Chains A and B, each alone.
Chain A
Amino acid sequence: MGDNEIRQAFLTEAKEIIENLESDIVQLEENAGDREIINRIFRYFHTLKGSSGIAGFTEVYEFSHKIENLLDAVRGGKIEVTDSLIDLILDSMDWIRDSIFTEGEGDAAMNERKSILLGKVGEFKKPDASVEKPLKSEDAAKARAAAHEKEDAANKYKYYRVRASFIEKIFEFGIDPLMVMEDLASHGPIIKNIVDKQNLPEFEGIDPEKCYLSWDIIIKSKSALNQINDVFIFVKDENKITVEDVTSQYMSEEKLHAPVYEKKLGEIMLESGIISENELDEAIALQNVEGKRFGDIIVNKGFASEEEVEHAIKEQAILKKKVENTTVRVDTVRLDNILNLLGEIVIGQSSLSRIAHEMENDYGTQLKNIIYGLDRTTREFQEQIMSIRMIPIGPTFNQFRRFVRDIAHSLHKEMKFVLEGEETELDKTVIERIDDPLKHMIRNSIDHGIEQPEERVKAGKDPAGTITLKAYHQEGNVFIEVNDDGKGIDEERVREKAISMNLIKPDEEASREKLLSFLFMPGFSTAKKVGDLSGRGVGMDVVKTNIESLRGSVEIRSEKGRGSSVKIKLPLTLAIIDGMLTKTGNNTYIIPLLSVMETIRPAREDIKTIEGKGEVVSYRGEYLSLIRLYEIFNIKPRYENPWEALVVIVESGRTKVGLLIDDMIGQQQIVIKSLDNYITQSRAVSGASILGDGKVALIIDIFGLMEDVVSA
């Protein structure tokens, strides 16, 4: 491995270790007696020390060594875990991070920081008299552990085995077992799912109004047993439902699947007791100086025999293979390229499909069938690639722990931080871009939402405020919620600010939703004084723009005195969707099929104009707003009368509208090409696509279209 490669590998490794460290250190603060966490932190510093030495970061190596010694004393029970210790460890970690990634070594300011930190380390390690000290710290740790146990139990995962077998005529009771199962699934990830199809008759004999299936499911969840039982509360009596806590069986299994990672030769030899720590340190230091192979140095210095070194090398190779077998590091640029190529395949397929449809004879039919098959394959291909880019949001969420802690401390507020749905997966790009918006929202909650502890106690609340980050999948979308139990958003203040910004007139009525939506306007902030964190009024509008650039949407809800909730919705598929091709005037527009409910040709009498609502079209007993697409886009249509043209009934969220178009052309897979911000200000356009004939068609975003109409 060349020098540069070693450096790169170290940087990647260091980044991961530091992220994990941060999360663990903050968790240690809340669970001071947790030996597991202490050991983990120790091992992280130990690895950092070793790797930094090999990569040539001598100062980091020496510093980590000192911290590692400190932690060794902690895990040996000689030093108690206190707030100042935690601060010291965090500051030390920051120094190491800065040294590796930004400042480099030998910088004067960095040296000063280092001396201060080392001074503090020295104070901790002062040999302080009695044997009593270790005992006391253990007691204190035990007490804290007991106090936290209740919280721990609530935060730990449990495994439940759910066996559900429904009676055949359950549908007649108006109950859909699938809904019950989906409710169950909302409590956590399903690890195993066996569907019993024994009672399913032959196809001809199936009565669609009877239920033949039963399930045997293992679900991993933080919920308590009674909560899982409650899922089946309405069906428990007539049907056979059993819920068992099988956590003990599964916890041990999880340990077997503990992550395997590459180990350095020195580490392996240390762990098997072939060499001592001192010998390892010496060898590493020598390696930096002499540049010889590690194994050679060990043998030369007599720390171990040649055979022992060979054995360790073999073990390293085995571990390496195990790691290589389970994971591959992929550059996201390559994945992007693959997705682009796939997009071009889809376009090519569209062209083929068009030609096939124009062929009348046998060849035409054969070609069409082959293309349907190809279509299915590309669809699956796309799903596979998208899933490679999906990573769980857990690590990102965990990173915020430190953030919440720091802000809470500086504002003198007490905070609890709860995470739900850490295993929810999102596209890597989305996760990277959602980082800042989330940080901002959390900052807002703590700064503006959560009250000071005294105020909270007066209001009958827990002195510590709780921020909950929640992530889950629903209907092809990912939802992320930031909820706080603070004082909620003061509608009156929002109203005042809105009036002062000329957004509404003083005597004008405004619904709560409208008021809350003002928070997304640039320059809007009702903070009384500009805290050093937020309240500069740059915030929520930037958050909204960021999320909209990911084709998502953001919503705020709030209840005075109880708290606020910000909900982000993001689409799961970024690149390829099914679209309906429509024509208005000379232009082709694509409507995402997901949004389309039905297409109708209304009768003349179905179109009316209602006072205060505008034009409406009658659809299945309701009157829906009629939107004339040609008006929104300022183009000349072929038909202006809805009864001569077509109306597409589209839906976004729970709102339905009728969209007037000239004609419907067809349906096909669409590769979404995003448009740069400056190309259009219309929120109704979410992107563009290249059709089979080479023409560009714009893609309509129904949610954005409705927004544009409302604000027009």
Chain B
Amino acid sequence: MSKAIEKEFVGSRMADEQQFVTFFIDGDTFGIQAGKVQEIIGMTEITYVPRTLSYLKGVINLRGAVVPVIDMRAKFRIEEIAYVSTTVIIIVEVESRLIGLIVDSVSDVLNIPVKGINETPHFSSRIETDIIESIGQVNDNLIIIINVEMIITQREFEEVKYSGKRV
């Protein structure tokens, strides 16, 4: 961690600052509200589940609970790679249910002042915008803040339901 980031992290939080768990996917940095993250675990055996969203890889055993896991690369339609030692699963809580997000690797927990997405007009993304909550900036790094509640939308869910195929 650079000194600058350290100061912001260790220092008191400012009014429009929140805490985020940041992680990497294909070189980009993303963040999720720290309050929504329950834990981070290493890659573990995934049980395949038939007839589901293409980015839902299956379910895992989290200390006795059966939790579904989503591959974020697949979700963002980025080329999928083999899981390596740094690949982790971030367990988040959405509407009192747990979901696991598979990401390349995890970074630090940061206090970030947030800017609305409208404030960065040149921003173009290969990711669908409803999942992006806002953009944060720490020094020169842009951190894409993700809204976990929008991870699986009703629309996608319906598509699987009525097509009967993997979407």
A residues in contact with B157, CB < 8 Å: 677-678
Task: Tell me the nearest residue of chain A to B45, going by C-beta.
Answer: A695
The interface on chain A, measured as residues whose beta carbon lies within 8 A of the other chain's beta carbons, has a size of: 28
* Chain B residues, Cβ within 8 Å of A697: 47
**Cβ-defined contact, B68 with A681, below 8 A:** no
- Provide the A679-698 mask, 1 if CB < 8 A to any CB of B, else 0: 11110110010100011111
Docked-complex contact B64 and A690, CB < 8 angstroms: yes
Task: Indicate if A146 sits at the interface (CB-CB under 8 A).
Answer: no
- Which residues does chain B contribute within 8 Å of A587, judged by CB atoms? 47-48
Chain A residues lying within 8 Å of B50, measured Cβ to Cβ, are: 632-635, 680, 682, 684-685
Question: Which residues of B lie under 8 Å from residue A343 when comparing CB positions?
Answer: 64
Q: Are A680 and B49 in contact (CB under 8 A)?
A: yes
Partner of B64, one of A344, A634, A635, A695: A344
Known contacts being A587-B48, A696-B47, is A679 close to B61, with CB within 8 Å? no
A427 to B58, CA, bound (A): 30
Determine if A347 is an interface residue (Cβ-Cβ < 8 Å).
yes
B53 contacts across to A, CB distance below 8 A: 678
CB proximity of B59 to chain A, nearest CB, Å: 5
* Contact A679 B52, beta carbon cutoff 8 Å: yes
- Could you say which of A673, A690, A711 contacts B164, with CB atoms under 8 Å apart? A711
Interface contact B47-A680, CB-CB below 8 Å: no
Tell me the number of A-to-B contacts counted with CB atoms below 8 Å: 65
Chain A min CB distance to B99 (Å)? 9
Task: Report, nearest first, the 8 A-B pairs whose CB atoms are least far apart.
Answer: A682-B51, A696-B47, A633-B50, A673-B66, A688-B66, A681-B51, A680-B52, A682-B50
Question: Is A271 interfacial (CB 8 A cutoff)?
Answer: no
Q: Which residues of A contact B60 (CB under 8 A)?
A: 696
Complex interface bits, A115-147 against B, C-beta within 8 A gives 1, otherwise 0: 000000000000000000000000000000000
24 of the cross-chain contacts (CB-CB < 8 Å) are A344-B64, A587-B47, A632-B50, A635-B48, A675-B66, A676-B97, A677-B157, A678-B52, A678-B152, A678-B157, A679-B49, A679-B68, A680-B49, A680-B50, A681-B52, A681-B164, A688-B59, A690-B61, A690-B66, A695-B61, A696-B59, A696-B60, A696-B66, A697-B47
CB distance from B122 to the nearest CB of A (A): 35
- Distance of A650 from chain B, by nearest CB (Å): 18
Q: Chain A residues near B152 (CB, 8 Å)?
A: 678
Asked if B65 CB lies within 8 Å of chain A CBs, one says yes
> In the complex, what distance in Å separates the CA atom of A525 from the CA atom of B19?
51
Give the contact-size bracket for chain B.
20 to 34
User: Which residues on the B side are within 8 Å of A711 (C-beta)?
Assistant: 164
Q: Does B148 contact A (CB under 8 A)?
A: no
Report B-chain residues with C-beta under 8 Å of the C-beta of A633: 50
Interface residues of B (CB under 8 A from A): 45, 47-53, 56, 59-61, 64-66, 68, 97, 152, 157, 160-161, 164
- A632-B50, A678-B157, A690-B66 known; 9 new pairs, CB 8 Å cut-off, are A675-B49, A675-B59, A676-B68, A679-B52, A685-B49, A696-B59, A696-B60, A696-B61, A698-B49
Alpha-carbon separation in the docked complex, A401 to B32 (Å): 52
Complexed CA–CA distance, A632 and B51 (Å): 9
Interface string of A609-641 (1 = CB under 8 A from B): 000000000000000000000001111000000
Q: Which residue of B lies closest to A344 (CB)?
A: B64
Chain A residues contacting B51 (CB-CB under 8 Å) are 680-682, 685
CB neighbors of B among A397-420 (8 A)? none
Residue of A nearest to B165 (CB): A681
Complex interface bits, A405-442 against B, C-beta within 8 A gives 1, otherwise 0? 00000000000000000000000000000000000000
Closest A residue, CB atoms, query B67: A696
In angstroms, Cα B68 to Cα A685, docked, is 14
Nearest B residue (CB) for A684: B50
With beta carbons under 8 angstroms apart, the residue of B49, B52, B65, B97 that contacts A673 is B65
> Does the CB pair B61–A694 fall under 8 Å?
yes
Docked Cα-Cα span, A698 to B68, in Å, equals 12
Chain B residues contacting A696 (CB-CB under 8 Å) are: 47, 59-61, 66
Residues of B within 8 A of A632 (CB): 50
A161 to B61, CA, bound (A): 55
